[in-house]
Structure formats: C-alpha cells, structure tokens
Structure 1
Amino acid sequence: MRLLYSTAAVADLTRLRAFIAEHDPAAAGRIASELVSRIDGLCAFPAMGHGVPEAPEGEVVRDFAFGRYVVRYSVHDEALVVLRIWHHREERAPQD
C-alpha cells in the first residue's frame, strides 16, 4: 500500500514542528520523526484508527491518535492518504 500526504497534511506537520521548535527545538525533530514513523506503520494496519462518522458516504476515513496528536487519513485499495494532522487541543471543523 502506498502512503501519500495531502498538501494540507504536509502543511500541518510543518506548522506543528515549527510550533514545538519555539518551545523546545530538540523535541521538534524528535516528535515530527515519531509522527512520521507511526504514520508509516498505518500502511501495514490501515484499520488501526477509529472511523470518522461524518466521512462522505462510500469513503473510509479514520482518525489515529498518537500521544497528543491525531492523524486523519483515508484508506483506498492501493493507497493510504494522510489528510490532516493536529494536536488534540486544537479546534477542528467536522470536515477537516
């Protein structure tokens, strides 16, 4: 299964890393690497996350929590697409 990142997910990861770096530069790289590593593991176990009830009909969209972060992704026949990444304290609109 291929792993793809949406433009929004790449921007989220960049934003989160920059925010963490303001407070703890050493942790920023470590946390970003851990997130990417956990996301890589989703390809082997795509059903690991919880289903998103407000997902469009016919789409498999899941949320996977890792520590204080949530990864929203969609599962397709040949690919897993990371849609968004956020800290659990951030406000999220249902469609994000």
Structure 2
Amino acid sequence: MKLQFSKAALNDLVRLRAFIAEHNPTAARQVAKRLRGAISNLTDAPKIGRPVEGFPGEIRELIFGRYVVRYEIRGTTLYILKIWHGKEDR
C-alpha cells in the first residue's frame, strides 16, 4: 500500500514538533520519529484504526499515544489527512 500525506498533515507534523521543541528538542525528534514509524506501519495493517462515522469514504483514526492520526483508505493508497494531539480542540 502506498502512503501519501496531505499538506495539512505535513503542516501538523511540523507544528507538533515545533511545539515540543520549544521545551525539549530531543523529545521533539523522538516523538516525530515514533509518530512517523506508527504511520508507516499503517501500510501493513491499514484497517487497524477505528472507523470514523459521518464522512464519505473509508476514514479511520489511529490513536498513537497522545496523538490522533486521521487517514483515508482509497484503493491501494493510504492518505494521511490530519494529525493532532489528543488535548487539542478538534
């Protein structure tokens, strides 16, 4: 399965890493690396995330630690739509 990030998801990764880096640059690198790893693993098990109701298509969410990764499965491509911290108001 192919993995593709939306512009919003890429911006989310940058934003989250920058926020953490303000207080702990090492932790920011570690969190970003683990988050990217979890997202990459979705290509092997794309249906591991819970389905999200109320959206067209096959939209799912992966809860990874304190973070939520919303993605869509379309054929052989997995689109990462948004990423946020669980305490953010979404």
Provide TM-score, normalisation by structure 1. 0.92
Q: Secondary structure at the match of 1:23?
A: coil
Q: Secondary structure at the match of 2:88?
A: coil
1:84 paired to 2:82: yes
Runs of 4+ in 1 over 3 A off after TM superposition: none
- Name structure 2 gaps, 5 residues minimum: none
- Name structure 1 gaps, 5 residues minimum: none
Equivalent residue, structure 2, for 1:14: 14
Looking at structure 1, the residues matched to 17 and 64 of structure 2 have their Cα atoms a distance apart, in angstroms, of 15
Q: Secondary structure at the match of 2:22?
A: helix
Amino acid at match of 1:19: F
Looking at structure 2, the residues matched to 32 and 22 of structure 1 have their Cα atoms a distance apart, in angstroms, of 14
1:32 paired to 2:32: yes
CA root-mean-square deviation: 0.5
Q: Secondary structure at the match of 2:48?
A: coil
Looking at structure 1, the residues matched to 13 and 88 of structure 2 have their Cα atoms a distance apart, in angstroms, of 14
Provide TM-score, normalisation by structure 2. 0.98
- Size of the aligned set, in residue pairs, is 90
Looking at structure 2, the residues matched to 68 and 54 of structure 1 have their Cα atoms a distance apart, in angstroms, of 23
